[in-house]
Every structure is written in C-alpha cells, then in structure tokens.
Amino acid sequence: MYSPHLGPLGDQEDSLPVIYYIVSVVAGVTLVVTVIVGVAFFRRRRLKRDTDHRILSVSNGAQVKTGTLTDSTLLRPPTSINNTYILPSSLTNSYASIRKLNTPISPMTPTPAHTPNPYASTAVTLTPCSKESGSRDTCTSTRESGSRDTFKSSNSLCRSEVIVDPSAAELHERFRQMEVDRPRVRLTAVVQEGSFGRVFRGWIQRDHPEQDQQVLIKTVTEDASHEELVMLYREGTHLFNLYHRNILTMVGISFANNSSPFLIYPFHGYQNLKKYLQDHRGGHLRAPELVELAVQAAQGLSFLHSANVLHGDIAARNCVVSEKLQLRITDAALSRDLFPTDYESVEHEPARPIKWMAYETINDSIISTASDVWSYGVLVWELTTLAQQPYVEVAACEMGEYLRDGYRLAQPLNCPDDLYKVMAFCWAIHPKDRPHAKLILDYIAAFHKQLNTFI
C-alpha cells in the first residue's frame, strides 16, 4: 500500500545504512583524537621529566656507565698520569670560558688553623670504641694512604656523638668558661620559630653600656623533649672554637633554673640565607653577587676541611648572610624544626636532608669531605635558583635509586655553564671523583674574577 508521507518503500530502506556510516565515522574520529591526545600527554610528561633532571654518565676506570637518555659524558675520572680532572671539549666553550678543572688533586693534608677542638669530628674511619671511666669515648682510627678520609656512622657510634657528648666533663668545662649570666641576656625580637625551636635577636649587657653586644640566640621551648634538647647541644657546639670570616660559631651559652639554655652567636645584621634568597626572587640579585656567595661558601667549607671538621649538612638553610652579602656557614642546630620540609624520613629512620645528601650517605650513612662537597653542589644550585626545593618531584624513598641511575638536578635557567660544571663535578657518583673543597674554591674564585671582567 502506498503512503505519500512515507515516500517510496525503497527510500526508507536506503536511509538505514547512511546512519550507520555517520555513527561509524564519528566513533572513528573520536578514537583517533583520543589516541593522539593520550600520546601527546605522555610524551609531554616524559619531556618535562627529562628537562627537569639531567642524566650524567660517570666513567669509572675501564667501565663506563651511561645514562639511558644521553650519550654525553660530563664527568670523567682523574687520569692515571697526573691525577687531574678533564672536561670534555663540548663544555669548555662557554661565554666566559676559563681554565679547566685540571689542578692536581692530592689527598688532603689537614693543617689546623686554630687550637685543636676536642669536640670536632675528624675525617677518619672509626673502629669500635672502648669507654674509659669518667672520660669521653675513645676510638682508634685508621687512615688509608692516598685515599679520601671517610667517616662512617654506625649503630654503636654516630657522628653527633663523636662531635660532642653533652654529659662529658670536658664539655661542661667549656660551657663554664663561656657561660653568660642569664640576667645579662636580653631578648628583643623573634627572628624564626618552629614547633619547639626559637631564634631570637638580643643583647648581652656588659659592665659598661657602650660594650653591650648584639647577638643571635638559639633555644627551645620548655615543652621540648629531652632528645630535642640534646640535639640542640650537639649540633650547636659542632663548630665551636672555629674562627673564620665565613664561619659563624657559638660564642656563649647561658643557663638558668627551670629554663632552656641559650646558645649565643654574634650578630652583624645576618639573615638566614634560604629566606634571604626567597625574599629576593623579584630579580634584585645579579649573577656576580650569587657567584660571590658561592665563593664565600667554598672558603668556609675549605677552612672546615683544613681544620679536620666535617659539617654534614651544608645547605642554604645553614648559612647566614648580611645585607653587604657577607656569608657565613653555621651549625645545623634547630634546622630540622625551622625547616621541616627539608628533612624527610624513610621508613623508621630519623628525618634527614635526603635531597642534599650524597649517594653513599643516603645508602650507607657515610659522611666525609666528599659528601660535604656533594651538598655544596646542591647549595650552589640553591643560589642560582633562589632557594628552590631540589628534586621536588622525587620521593625521598626513591632518591638513592634515582641518583644511582644517573639523574641529577638540571642546569638552572640563566646559570653560567662554568658554574654548572662545578655542580656536576660535585655530584660524581663515586666520592673519589669529586674535587676537594680547595680545588672548588680555586676554580670558582677564578670564574668569579672572569665574570666581573666580562661584565
């Protein structure tokens, strides 16, 4: 039967395949677009990861381990002839090219620049200790000829116990000599505060008002635990009796009944370096000024190593700087409380500055002059990024594997090539391939001079 509004019977039958064709085309186009977007997304993530972190390959003797994403060799071992570092030619043509890092590197021979500090940690390998009645733990030490001095912590004796034992009679005698009566200490302002730590600005009142001394004071609240108080003692006295223009050490201590002790430091308009850099992210610091800060940090580190002292926590948070850009390395007292995001815990271990630590320190708790040099490289990276967080996208539990696979911090934007070379050498996977602090100082000071001449 013919129905005009339906049209011929053949027209209705032919309309069905057309709909099928349209649906199929739309579904196909949607699938293709989805695949393209997915591929672009994952490729973008991979490119971003490769940009954020540079893979360095490290040569070790006859065997060469190369990163999976690059064939370049930035770090080469010392030659067997003159024990020198050699830079590849591709890295020597920077805009302010200076001499190569080819100064002969000989094992460090400490030359104490001050009276030996009985509480200073010496860069040696410690063997099990024997205790004498009424005295500090005494340890026998071994030093391998021609090798970098190394300190390895263990469950029986950790670095902080070597540096200072708060219950020792010698330490109490030191405190007695430098003690300041509490009524003479006047607090004027809070500089920094954490959950239990406090840093104050204040004065020490002398017999004559014109002799009053402005100081910084570190202390803990009355709610602080015994462990936190002991940590304040240990870390606060780490650099005690070390005097250098780039080292800030404790000069006094004040006790009072029913109150936490005050650790007293000289004050000349200092500000924490990390906070100073963060406050100047608007572009007020020029490259020569940042390099000058790196030079001063190298001077302080070189002095510590020449005095047979390991720092163990070189970072911007453990430095202070004045408005005239006078930098001083300080101890790490209260840093865990004042900068909690810089210290991370893996499993049941105490919180450590893992993102600043050398590969062997993360895995084996080895602290040495070489591990200090690694941390110095991260400090220079902090300077050039104005205190950005290193390895911000990497979990603390993955750092050991991440470094083992060759990943390192990328060269910061506008960072001179020659300055990044210093960082790269500091991050050599093998401690023996890293330069000593004195060699770093010579190189970076020469670069700073060239940079000022160029500008």
Q: Are 73 and 399 spatial neighbours (Cβ–Cβ below 8 Å)?
A: no
Q: What is the dihedral of CA 428, 417, 405, 63, to 10 degrees?
A: -60
Distance CA 142, CA 138 (A): 13
Q: Are 307 and 242 spatial neighbours (Cβ–Cβ below 8 Å)?
A: yes
Distance CA 191, CA 265 (A): 13
Q: Are 293 and 321 spatial neighbours (Cβ–Cβ below 8 Å)?
A: yes
Ranges of each domain in the chain: 1-52, 56-454
- 379 CB-near residues (< 8 Å, 6+ apart): 294, 297, 314, 315, 316, 319, 356
Mean pLDDT by 10 residues, the chain (455 residues): 49 61 84 86 63 41 30 34 34 29 32 33 29 32 34 31 45 75 92 91 88 91 87 88 92 86 92 94 87 97 96 96 95 94 90 96 94 97 96 94 94 91 95 95 93 73
Q: Within 280-352, where are the H helices?
A: 287-306, 335-338
The arrangement of secondary structure in 56-454, i.e. its CATH architecture, is Orthogonal Bundle (1.10)
Tell me how crowded residue 351 is: count the other CB atoms within 10 A of its CB. Answer: 13
Q: Is the dihedral angle over the CA atoms 355, 299, 310, 140 positive or is it negative?
A: positive
Q: Note if 11 is an active site residue.
A: no
Q: Is the dihedral angle over the CA atoms 419, 423, 426, 427 positive or is it negative?
A: negative
Distance CA 403, CA 376 (A): 16
The closest of 333, 353, 360 to 433, measured between CA atoms, is 360
Instruction: Tokens for 80, please give them.
Output: 């067997």
Distance CA 109, CA 305 (A): 9
**Predicted local confidence at residue 171, as pLDDT:** 62
> Tokens 């408005």 label which residue?
323
Q: Are 396 and 404 spatial neighbours (Cβ–Cβ below 8 Å)?
A: no
**Predicted local confidence at residue 16, as pLDDT:** 57
Among candidate residues 313, 331, 337, 342, the one labeled active-site is 313
H/E stretch holding 41: helix 9-52
H/E stretch holding 218: strand 213-220
Q: Are 181 and 262 spatial neighbours (Cβ–Cβ below 8 Å)?
A: no
